[in-house]
Amino acid sequence: MIQTRDLTKVYGNLRAIDSLDISLGERDVFGFIGPNGAGKTTTMKILTTLLEPSWGEASVCGYSIYTNSAELRRVIGYMPDFFGVYEDMKVIEYLEFFAAAYRIRGEKRKKRCDEMLELVDLGYKRNALVTSLSRGMTQRLGLARVLLHDPQVLLLDEPASGLDPRARIEIRTLLKELSKMGKTIMVSSHILPELADVCNKIGIIERGKLLVNANVEEVLRQVRRAGRIHLTFSEKQTKEEFQKNPAENAAKITETLEIVQAVEVNAPLQLSIQLKDGIEDYSEIPELLISTGIRLLAIHEDEINLETAFMTLTRGITS
């Protein structure tokens, strides 16, 4: 659905995007993340034919940005970070205006606008002035607008920017619904944990170069370093020698294991264990503790999420 090869945009001595290779298929939801000025918006503008690259190839749904721009624009829906609205229009008038621009006429236009209002949960605001909408509602109205002509591909530049927590959840839910409808979505955002829940692919870009382009699971595996696990023990230890401070006793038992780098007693009932590099299977630790007679309530790893990946793989440098 979206293909780029060696896509590059140069401004004098500055490379806004540098040899970008992206491949997205049907129903892919691609999270495009990076520091401000990394090249995300430039990439989207090139894909929408609003900006010409310096060199390289790009196509959407098989249409080249060079030779099939008119056809390409018919199959995409682009929502920039900030977009203008006609404040003296009602919500339904705003959608009908753009539906007319897409040459959707008559009863089909009315039906389509009503469907989009219901999809973004703005049906109850159909007769409200656009200027009366909150930021979150305005973003949802923008999504309704770009969906009017039923595009196959959506390019959404920071759709959750400036939204309160509830509005971000609503946008996330809407993106999931659009994916179920068969849309291919490229979405840039700094709300990194939420992207992991929405996207199946992630691209991390810095200074115009794509550092990572993979499935979410692969990205998280890439940044997984030496593991750290946390153990919680029961207050009711069966053996008398473990009653007073089971964490200290567990530390003495586990610190000599080959897979353990270091141990740290956080509280009488809590212990943290730093594993050596590359250790993924630490099942021998709970097995040893239980066989020794220490009662273990819980064990969990440090969470590795997209924020960890982003901070690990980027340095905050812009083009």
Q: How is the chain split into domains, by residue range?
A: 1-75+151-222+304-319, 86-142, 228-301
**Rounded-to-integer distance, Cα 41 and Cα 318, Å:** 13
The pLDDT, as a whole number, for residue 47 is 95
Which of 40, 44, 20 is CA-nearest to residue 32? 40
Give exposure, 35-60, as e/b (b: 16+ Cβ within 10 Å): beebbbbbbbbbbbbeeebeebebbb
Top-confidence residue, 3 or 194 = 3
Q: Which amino acid is at 90?
A: K
The pLDDT, as a whole number, for residue 168 is 79
* CATH, domain 228-301, list 1.10.3470, 3.30.70, 1.20.120, 3.10.450: 3.30.70
Q: Is pLDDT above 90 for 36?
A: no
The pLDDT, as a whole number, for residue 166 is 80
The pLDDT, as a whole number, for residue 223 is 61
pLDDT band at 21 (very low <50, low <70, confident <90, very high): very high
Give residue-wise pLDDT tens across range 78-92. 998 877 777 789 999
- Who contacts 113 (Cβ-Cβ below 8 Å, separation ≥6)? 92, 95, 96, 99, 148
pLDDT band at 291 (very low <50, low <70, confident <90, very high): very high
pLDDT band at 313 (very low <50, low <70, confident <90, very high): low
**Rounded-to-integer distance, Cα 184 and Cα 231, Å:** 42
The pLDDT, as a whole number, for residue 82 is 78
Pairing of strands 184-188, 29-33: parallel
Q: Is pLDDT above 60 for 319?
A: no
Q: Is 271 exposed, middle or buried (0-12, 13-18, 19+ CB in 10 A)?
A: buried
Retrieve residue 5's tokens: 């090869």
Sheet of strand 76-79, all strands in order from the earlier edge strand to the far edge: 76-79, 153-157, 184-188, 29-33, 201-206, 209-215
Question: Which run of H or of E encompasses 141?
Answer: helix 135-147
DSSP 3-state assignment of 204?
Answer: strand
Evaluate whether 1-75+151-222+304-319 and 228-301 have a shared fold. no
Q: Answer yes or no: are the C-beta atoms of 23 and 35 closer than 8 Å.
A: no
The second-level CATH assignment, the architecture, of 1-75+151-222+304-319 is: 3-Layer(aba) Sandwich (3.40)
Q: Is pLDDT above 70 for 248?
A: yes
**Rounded-to-integer distance, Cα 188 and Cα 114, Å:** 28
Q: Is pLDDT above 60 for 316?
A: no
Give residue-wise pLDDT tens across range 191-218. 566 677 788 888 888 888 988 888 877 7
Q: Is pLDDT above 50 for 149?
A: yes
Q: Where is average pLDDT lowest: 13-22, 85-94, 97-106, 287-296?
A: 85-94
The pLDDT, as a whole number, for residue 318 is 47
